[in-house]
């Protein structure tokens, strides 16, 4: 049968079973495999859940002390489940459909969440026919037909485990988040895994801020063999002592670690050594060769797929899971939420056959290679992520394109590599003597690529060599005399600890046993959506808000953000899933009693000073950073007056120095100084620094009818505000520049500076100028060339087409926005609720969101009755002056961003 539609519910002949899956896409595909004897419908994700807002709580419950939590903590932590308005019709339709069926097959995803959805369906449908649980790891015809013949009961341990996780997360978030609203800022949230992930990022930022760099020198020699082959060697030691390298320095002092027996060379030392040995003999003392083998990496789990797609494809964890979901539902890969690295016998046989056909016998592993899962709490019922079925077709053979092709290719290559021969390499080291100095040259040669032919794993360190890279030394023998071509001193500088990327954060969370891979993408998305993290390139940079929240939790609720405690919580939840632990004692210990979360928050809340909680003190920065309603700011007393200045948004916490802080304060204390008067209208020109960096302003901040908002122009990144002359300022204030009409379109082409730097624009098509030119001097021809390279789109491209709206047939799309995912129908845009996984969004789920949003818009835009027109006009006139003052105050506060947190 087809997926959920009106036609599904027309009375028809008796069906063998009603099969319920989670998405309409799967329903359509599985219905095609099972045939007309089965009715296959979709639950469209969760069918009931804890109330998301107070309005969803039934009236008879609202008076209960636990109503806000949605969990009766005094009655065995019983959850209050409600059916969202958008699902009530669906439940009625499923009940009606069940009347025509001999049994009910629950075919939701084979994991804790899928098991829980299946249980909720049974609870709501109250079937009078037999109920069976149908599970499968891939959507292929053979897998589906096999699943129908091999059903089981719903696993109550998994249901209990998922419910316990949901309860713990609700208790944690709904108890701590209101505290953060009172003490730091509204809209913040705390979470069992989320808060620990933020702490990891904040701890790393403090490490970077405390880091002190060190400089050291060595020598690099370019040498020639007797056969005139050139290679490079680096200084390794002098007079029998090793030359200092980055690992020998203390990161907090920038000095050598105590007891480091190394030679630390300055630029002077390097020059003196060069002069001493350059004209002497250079002789090979010895050559060492070491053979090594590399085994293929295990097939993908959820976390390793997220890591590799981030390293190799630049995809976020959220994008990876959305793309993998589409590949799974289309029958191209196995289930993408798995901790297992095992492969089925059929998959191994298919992979080995494909390797033999595509690469030849030499590249096939002599023996079948299987991997053992070591992850904590792994769901072994699943396989690793691999191409579905036994054909093992490439992405091109399947007709894939875009992100689906890129991600599928990654999975296909990794799967092939598991059954390929080991790679064989030889590592070479040559020791060369020049006077009392010792140099070393290293090389590597791939003797047999083996599985490298299919797959090489990415690396997080941009300076690290890939496994299959070649750097072969020429043939060298002991006592060979070498010719020195060049000997140059080389300066080195130690680097601060690297910030986390999505790949390294996922890796760290998994190694610590915190959270589960299936939740990592949503966790990383949430900490960005909440303003705890911003991305700089691929780096995850914590904000000052994240530092304030982490500081509060570490000082007053240290156990809740402790890595070991959080990992133990995860293990206990896994024990509930396996039936080894009872949830009731655990929940009571976690929430109730003197040491429970409820009591901790109640007793410690009064001891938390909001001003202190919102003040961040950084090493060697004399002024504390305050986190206020409008962001981070500095506040000091000068001449009996309080001086407050906002921090530009592009300053990361670890990059703030005392000199920068003092300069910002001094500028604010002195106030903007006029550079001079504009020759055209006589208005003053000012240099200023705002939340988005330095800018120029023409005119005063009066913002009145006679003197409207002054013109402001941002300065390009890299341009110091102090270096801008009066003539430069006049040029910048001419922006946007009209470069002339586009030769083909006949419309103006302009050049200006936006939030992301200088750009050119024509008919709403934008292209960054970047290093291609100067916004003040770029000409029309160059701008037209840049615009030809721009992605010309009428609008954002949906990450998923959900289908046509039943009322007008217009398409509904799912989009990834700056503030999170949303659905769009025509001009109506509705955010996806935070509790809804993006990958589970379907047409049926989107329709009520769009209807609610459209209804709100219409209500807000409704015309007033004629009889009230005069009264309304009077009110409008009376309130106009007050509104103007209020808007001015709000604007001033937003610009200065100096208001303190409400206590």
- Say if residues 517 and 332 touch (Cβ distance below 8 Å): no
d(CA 823, CA 368) in angstroms, rounded, equals 47
Going from the C-alpha of 59 to that of each of 48, 49, 54, 63, 64, the distances in angstroms are: 18, 17, 10, 8, 10
Quick one: three-class SS letters along 211-222?
CCCCEEEEEEEE
DSSP 652: -
Nearest to 380 by CA among 419, 348, 341: 341
126: left (phi over 0), alpha (psi -120 to 50) or beta: left
Angle at 262 between CA 257 and CA 267, to 5 degrees: 100
End-to-end CA distance of the chain: 59
Going from the C-alpha of 336 to that of each of 34, 315, 378, 799, 852, the distances in angstroms are: 23, 16, 13, 18, 33
DSSP state letters, 225-266: -TT--EEEEEEEEETTEEEP-GGGB-TTTSSBPTT--EE---
d(CA 85, CA 847) in angstroms, rounded, equals 11
Going from the C-alpha of 476 to that of each of 230, 444, 473, 480, 699, the distances in angstroms are: 11, 14, 8, 7, 73
Strand residues in 575-720 grouped as ranges (E): 615-616, 625-628, 631-638, 641-646, 674-677, 684-690, 693-698, 711-714
- Say if residues 322 and 404 touch (Cβ distance below 8 Å): no
SS3 711: strand
In this structure, how many other beta carbons lie within 10 angstroms of the beta carbon of residue 903? 9
Both tokens of 273, joined, read: 């050594």
Strand residues in 495-565 grouped as ranges (E): 533-536, 539-542
In this structure, how many other beta carbons lie within 10 angstroms of the beta carbon of residue 558? 10
d(CA 780, CA 739) in angstroms, rounded, equals 5
Q: For residue 688, what are the contacts with CB-CB under 8 A and spacing of at least 6?
A: 672, 694, 695, 696, 697, 712
Q: For residue 597, what are the contacts with CB-CB under 8 A and spacing of at least 6?
A: 171, 172, 175, 176, 560, 590, 591
d(CA 12, CA 97) in angstroms, rounded, equals 10
Q: Helices (DSSP H) in 311-366: which residue ranges?
A: 317-329, 345-359
Both tokens of 645, joined, read: 């200045």
- Say if residues 803 and 7 touch (Cβ distance below 8 Å): no
Q: What is the CA radius of gyration of the chain?
A: 32
Strands in 748-754's sheet, in edge-to-edge order, are 737-741, 748-754, 757-762, 765-768
Q: Which sequence positions are flagged as catalytic?
A: 335
Both tokens of 25, joined, read: 């896409």
d(CA 567, CA 560) in angstroms, rounded, equals 11
d(CA 760, CA 766) in angstroms, rounded, equals 6
- The residue behind tokens 């109330």 is 51
């Amino acid at each position: 049968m087809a997926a959920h539609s009106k036609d599904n519910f027309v009375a028809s002949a008796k069906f063998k079973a009603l099969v319920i899956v989670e998405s309409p896409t799967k329903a359509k595909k599985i219905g095609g495999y099972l045939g007309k004897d089965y009715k296959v419908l979709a639950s469209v994700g969760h069918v009931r859940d804890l109330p998301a807002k107070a309005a969803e709580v039934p009236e008879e419950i609202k008076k209960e002390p636990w109503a806000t939590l949605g969990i009766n903590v005094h009655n065995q932590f019983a959850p209050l489940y409600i059916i969202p308005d958008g699902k009530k019709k669906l439940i009625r339709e499923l009940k009606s459909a069940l009347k025509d069926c001999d049994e009910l097959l629950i075919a939701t995803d084979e994991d804790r969440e899928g098991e829980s959805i299946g249980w909720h369906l049974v609870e709501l449908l109250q079937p009078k026919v037999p109920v069976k649980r149908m599970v499968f790891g891939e959507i292929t015809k053979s897998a589906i037909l096999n699943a129908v013949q091999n059903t089981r009961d719903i696993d109550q341990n998994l249901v209990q485990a998922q419910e316990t996780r949901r309860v713990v997360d609700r208790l944690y978030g709904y108890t701590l988040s209101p505290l953060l609203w009172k003490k730091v800022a509204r809209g913040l949230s705390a979470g069992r895994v989320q808060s620990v992930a933020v702490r990891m990022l904040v701890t790393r930022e403090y490490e970077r801020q405390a880091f002190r760099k060190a400089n050291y020198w060595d020598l690099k020699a370019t040498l020639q063999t007797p056969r005139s082959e050139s290679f490079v060697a680096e200084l390794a030691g002098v007079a029998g002592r090793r030359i200092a390298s980055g690992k020998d320095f203390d990161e907090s002092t920038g000095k050598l670690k105590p007891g480091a027996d190394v030679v630390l060379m300055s630029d002077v030392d390097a020059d003196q050594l060069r002069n001493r040995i350059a004209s002497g003999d250079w002789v090979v003392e010895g050559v060492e060769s070491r053979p090594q083998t590399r085994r293929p990496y295990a097939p993908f789990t959820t976390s390793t797929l997220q890591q590799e797609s981030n390293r190799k494809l630049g995809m976020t964890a959220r994008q990876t899971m959305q793309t993998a979901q589409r590949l799974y539902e289309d029958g191209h890969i196995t289930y993408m939420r798995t901790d297992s690295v095992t492969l089925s016998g059929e998959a191994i046989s298919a992979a080995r056959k494909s390797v033999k056909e595509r690469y030849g016998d030499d590249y096939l592993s002599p023996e079948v290679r299987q991997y053992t899962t070591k992850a904590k709490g792994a769901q072994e019922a699943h396989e690793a992520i691999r191409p579905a079925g036994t054909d093992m077709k490439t992405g091109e053979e399947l007709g894939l394109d875009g992100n689906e092709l890129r991600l599928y290719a990654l999975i296909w290559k990794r799967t092939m590599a598991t059954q390929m021969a080991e790679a064989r390499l030889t590592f070479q080291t040559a020791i060369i003597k020049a006077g009392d100095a010792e140099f070393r040259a290293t090389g590597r040669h791939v003797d047999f690529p083996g599985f490298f032919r299919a797959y090489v794993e990415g690396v997080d360190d941009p300076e690290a060599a890939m496994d299959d890279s070649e750097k072969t030394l020429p043939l060298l023998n002991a006592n060979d005399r070498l010719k020195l071509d060049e000997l140059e001193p080389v300066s080195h500088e130690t680097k601060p600890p690297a910030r986390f990327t999505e790949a390294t954060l996922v890796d760290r969370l998994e190694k610590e046993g915190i959270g589960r891979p299936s939740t990592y993408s949503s966790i990383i998305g949430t900490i960005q959506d909440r303003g705890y993290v911003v991305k700089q390139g691929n780096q995850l940079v914590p904000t000052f808000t994240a530092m304030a929240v982490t500081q509060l939790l570490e000082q007053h609720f240290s156990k809740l953000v402790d890595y070991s405690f959080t990992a133990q919580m995860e293990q206990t939840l896994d024990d509930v899933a396996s039936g080894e632990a009872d949830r009731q004692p655990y929940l009571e210990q976690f929430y109730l009693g003197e040491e429970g979360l409820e009591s901790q928050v109640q007793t410690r809340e009064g001891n938390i000073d909001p001003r202190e909680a919102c003040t961040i003190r950084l090493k060697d920065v004399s002024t504390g950073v305050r986190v206020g309603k409008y962001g981070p700011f500095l506040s000091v007393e000068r001449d009996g007056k309080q001086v407050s200045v906002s921090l530009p948004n592009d300053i990361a916490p670890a990059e703030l120095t005392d000199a920068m802080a003092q300069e910002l304060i001094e500028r604010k204390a002195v106030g903007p100084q006029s550079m001079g008067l504009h020759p055209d209208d006589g208005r003053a020109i000012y240099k200023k620094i705002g939340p988005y960096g330095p800018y120029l302003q023409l005119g005063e901040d009066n913002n009145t009818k006679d003197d409207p908002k002054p013109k402001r122009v941002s300065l390009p990144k890299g341009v110091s505000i102090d270096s801008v002359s009066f003539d430069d300022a006049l040029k910048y204030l001419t922006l946007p520049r009209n470069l002339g009409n586009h030769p083909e379109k006949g419309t103006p082409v302009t050049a200006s500076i936006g939030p992301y730097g200088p750009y050119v624009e024509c008919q709403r098509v934008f292209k960054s100028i970047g290093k291609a030119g100067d916004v003040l001097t770029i000409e029309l021809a160059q701008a037209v060339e840049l615009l030809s390279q721009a992605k010309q789109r009428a609008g954002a491209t949906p990450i998923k087409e959900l289908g046509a709206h039943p009322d007008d047939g217009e398409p509904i799309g799912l989009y990834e926005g700056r503030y999170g995912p949303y659905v769009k129908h025509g001009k109506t845009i509705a955010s996806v609720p935070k509790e809804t996984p993006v990958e589970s969004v379907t047409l049926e789920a989107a329709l009520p969101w769009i209807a609610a949003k459209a209804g709100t818009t219409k209500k807000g835009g409704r015309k007033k009755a004629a009889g009230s027109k005069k009264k309304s006009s009077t009110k409008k006139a009376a309130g106009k002056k007050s509104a103007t003052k209020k808007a001015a105050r709000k604007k001033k506060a937003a610009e200065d961003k100096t208001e303190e947190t409400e206590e």
